[in-house]
Amino acid sequence: DNVCSGELKFHYTVHTSLDVVEEKISGVGKALADQRELYLGLLYPTEDYKVYGYVTNSKVKFVIVVDSSNTSLRDNEIRSMFRKLHNSFTDVMCNPFYNPGDPIQSKAFDSIVSTMMVQAC
């Protein structure tokens, strides 16, 4: 139950953060992706966790949820995490057998994500 509720909670968090992401990326009047930074920063903090957002040029959104009690994570570290995510996501995309929209089954991608999460802890 805890796991399920935990996952649900994260799903809910991510969904709500999507609204914030949309708000941030639609706020740029120039409407040129190049002029908009990919890293969105802290989307909003709650009492339990902090949510960071990142959008790619193709409107693919990455959301990282971090425990608020983890104060050792700096902004730069989050940025590097997003960069790694973006890189590995690009590699997954490069695979012609991968159809965009499918759940990512790449082991390399999974390993990168796991390593990142372990490092962040």
Residue among 51 and 89 whose Cβ is closer to another protein = 89
Q: How far is the CB of 12 from another protein (least distance, A)?
A: 21
91 counts as binding another protein under rule CB under 8 A: yes
The span from the CA of 18 to the CA of 103, in Å, is: 18
Q: How far is the CB of 9 from another protein (least distance, A)?
A: 26
Q: How many CB atoms lie within 10 A of CB 117?
A: 12
Residue among 66 and 109 whose Cβ is closer to another protein = 109
Residue matched to tokens 């339990």: 48
Which listed residue (56, 65, 73, 77) binds another protein by CB under 8 A?
56
> Angle 105-38-32 (CA atoms, 0-180°, nearest 5)?
120
Q: How far is the CB of 97 from another protein (least distance, A)?
A: 4
Task: Give how far Cα 37 sits from Cα of 9, 41, 98, Å.
Answer: 28, 10, 27
Site for another protein, residues 31 to 50, rule: CB under 8 A: none
